[in-house]
Structure 1
Amino acid sequence: MPVPQTVAPDRLAALSRGFNADGWINGERSAPPSRELLLQLRKAGMSHVRLPVPAERVMLRFAAKAERDETLRALDTALKQLTALGYSVSVDLHPGERFNRLHKDDPDAALREMKEAWSALAGIIRAYPTNRVFAELLNEPDVEAGRWQEEVESLAAFVRQLLPATTLVVGPVNWQRADSLPQFRPLPDPNVVYAIHFYDPMVFTHQGHWDAQDPLHDIIDLPYPISASDPAVRMLRQDLQARGAAKALGMLDTAIAIARDKPSVDQWLEPAVAWQQKFARPLIVNEFGVLKAGAPRDSRLRWLASVTAYARAHCWGWTHWELAQGFGLVDSSTGKPDPGVMRALLGASKPGKR
């Protein structure tokens, strides 16, 4: 598939292989990665860092001015370090529960807060090369699709005035799923990359969930691909039945049924391919990953490899979620990139190649 040319080719190449640095900017709880780790990943072929900035820390409705100023200084420091190491960076406005509640209850106020936040963020971003630092307008907008379409067009036009040459990154509602794209129209602005998130099948990628109240917490060692005839799947079903984990068992059985029609990532991502063929706009899968707590390692690596291979085949960038936490690509025992995960992600790709 040819690469859509609405965004400069060097910028799309910069977005081709990356990871999310979640938790880097978070006030007293910030956990910046070491320079050594960033260098190791850069040398391995990673070109892009998606840098989540907690929205509530840069919105004066939720944060004191001192807190916002500290957050903006931390962003500037991170951008200096990352660009010096040769990375491109997406600055991701990443909301939490307080903003999402406002977004649903008072959309007009939420739009004002987003514009005010981007006024502050643009003051930092405009100091950096426009082909290296990009602006992601809002992570996983949690509102109705028609409302978000109106808001994002207004927000993008506003940010474009602040950052005339910066590539913008936007995505659809409903967790930015691929099957949400058909209801999302491209923006009039051509200098935009469209971002989707991918975690399907959820029963596999989120097994061993961190919340003990979530039924997925009860699912462990589910292999990928999912098949009713797999002995490991049969054993898991028996275990869930024996433990009376009815909700988890129901989720597993639903996943088994869906897998008959969607046995691989290809079928899950087809709506994004169709959308791109229709509109000829560039795409990136800027969140995808498997929670390490419960997934069999070989299945996790197989799933990751299939996602990045599919992205490469369709000239999409990708950005793994995340670096060093529950989904992370860092081996917690060594503090270094997990060699198996890196092989799965990068495949046969080499630095400088799509």
Structure 2
Amino acid sequence: MLRPSITAIIVAASVLLSVAARACPSLIEGVPADRLEALSRGVNADGWIADPRSAPPRSLLLALRKAGLTHIRLPVPADDVMPRFASKLDIDRHLQTVDAALKTLLQLGFAVSIDLHSGERFNPLHKDDPAAAMIEMKSAWGELATIMQRYPSDRVFAELLNEPEVDAAQWQSEVRDLAGFIRNLLPQTTLITGPVNWQRADSLPGFTPLDDPNVVYAIHFYDPMVFTHQAHWDQNEPLHDVTGLPYPIRADDPRVQQLRAQLTAQNHREALAMVDRATPDRGIDKWLAPAAAWQQKYSRPIIINEFGVLKAGAPRDSRLRWLAGVTDYARQQCWGWTHWEMMQGFGLADAVTGKLDREALKALLGTR
């Protein structure tokens, strides 16, 4: 019996998973429907550009593509591609890694968004000297554009800046300037941008969309933080003391009651207050409602291109339930989604073995 080729399997999976997308109306003429479909189901490949040794195994990428994922968000650390913070040699080295990553991902059939990911050195500059920060952002995008111009504009997208750490008025002014600069370099490329305040859904109503029609608007979602960031890696962070918190969070849940008793006995007052503030949970639809209202007002496409749950402390069943809830809501709203991230604390795969967590993937895809 003939076996289907890898290409045939990938195509079949994509067709099946795009059926729901076809029911979504075209939100804006400037963003072609095939690009919105390309952004519909993805995962972040964090760490790859900073250190090529952290690149996900090709076998993992192939498994994700065969399962129906369409998009890889590729964070590029801003500090590594800006001349104020990196030597030309280092910048060139990171750009070569971007180029190699694009070749790999496009060969596997993924669309890719290049995300200029703000960093520890850039963020203070952005606050204290906006003019100097703009020079650095334009320099970085000038370099990145030279790489992106080698690839199809309908498969590689440009995300202006991840989570701008400035006030809304400053960013609203800057984003128009930066988008115009990038548009001159990449005339046909779909741009991606979003609001300040960690790109929260409730920050989007304060953000005015650009005049440029070929733009997708990105929000990030980690609410309630006490659930998604429990067992936080920083021991000085109150969330480090929260473990085993289920989702949804209900006061009558024995697991919630047990955790409250533990936090009380250990005098972890800040952590306890966080649990109490999140009880009862508002629900994913309520957290994301401001973004849905913004979309109804402006008719612009939205993507949740960061969301996830730290695996260290969250009950597995609750993590899967939350992930499924986020992507189910996104599908209802005709939004794309991109999970944070691939192989680290929030990852879809084991950091050591690279083995894919298929139950988590099924939760994301709505096929559990």
**1:282 counterpart = 2:297:** no
Post-superposition offset of 1:30: 4.2
Instruction: Report the aligned-residue RMSD.
Output: 1.2
Provide the identity percentage: 64
**Higher RCO structure, 1 or 2 (CA under 8 Å, sep 6+):** 1
For 1:102-140, what per-residue CA distance to the aligned partner results, in whole angstroms no more than 9, with x for missing partners? Answer: 001101110111011100000000110010000000000
For 1:24-72, what per-residue CA distance to the aligned partner results, in whole angstroms no more than 9, with x for missing partners? Answer: 0114x74111111110110010100000001011100000000000011
Give the match for residue 94 of structure 1: 117
Residues 143/278 of structure 1: CA separation in 2 closer, same or farther (3 Å cut): same
> Which amino acid letter does the alignment assign opposite residue 119 of structure 2?
G
Q: Which of 313, 326, 351 in structure 1 is aligned with 2:345?
A: 326
Q: Which of 43, 48, 51 in structure 2 is aligned with 1:19?
A: 43
Long gaps (5+) in structure 1: 350-354
Q: TM-score, normalised by structure 1?
A: 0.95
Give, in whole Å, the separation in 1 of the partners of 2:366 and 2:313: 24
SS in 2 for 1:228: coil
> Which amino acid letter does the alignment assign opposite residue 349 of structure 2?
V
Give the match for residue 36 of structure 1: 59
SS in 1 for 2:231: coil
Contact 2:73-2:115 at 8 Å conserved across structures: yes
Post-superposition offset of 1:333: 6.6
**1:190 counterpart = 2:213:** yes
> Which amino acid letter does the alignment assign opposite residue 319 of structure 2?
R
> Which amino acid letter does the alignment assign opposite residue 25 of structure 1?
I
**1:216 counterpart = 2:239:** yes
- 5 Å-filtered alignment, 1:123-272, equals 123-256=146-279, 259=281, 262=282, 264-272=283-291
SS in 2 for 1:290: coil
Contact 1:218-1:248 at 8 Å conserved across structures: yes
Give, in whole Å, the separation in 2 of the partners of 1:218 and 1:4: 43
Post-superposition offset of 1:331: 3.3
Post-superposition offset of 1:255: 1.1
Q: TM-score, normalised by structure 2?
A: 0.92
Give, in whole Å, the separation in 2 of the partners of 1:8 and 1:31: 33
SS in 2 for 1:53: strand
Give, in whole Å, the separation in 2 of the partners of 1:142 and 1:335: 33
Give, in whole Å, the separation in 2 of the partners of 1:2 and 1:233: 41
Q: Return structure 1 stretches of 4+ with deviation > 4 angstroms.
A: none
For 1:272-322, what per-residue CA distance to the aligned partner results, in whole angstroms no more than 9, with x for missing partners? Answer: 000000000000000000000000000000000000000011110000000
Give the match for residue 316 of structure 2: 297
Contact 1:3-1:315 at 8 Å conserved across structures: no
**1:79 counterpart = 2:102:** yes
For 1:62-105, what per-residue CA distance to the aligned partner results, in whole angstroms no more than 9, with x for missing partners? Answer: 00000000011000000001001100000000011100010011
Contact 1:170-1:193 at 8 Å conserved across structures: yes
Contact 2:56-2:354 at 8 Å conserved across structures: no
Give the match for residue 9 of structure 1: 33
Give, in whole Å, the separation in 2 of the partners of 1:245 and 1:227: 20
Give, in whole Å, the separation in 2 of the partners of 1:85 and 1:37: 11
Post-superposition offset of 1:3: 3.7
SS in 1 for 2:279: helix
Aligned residue pair count: 344
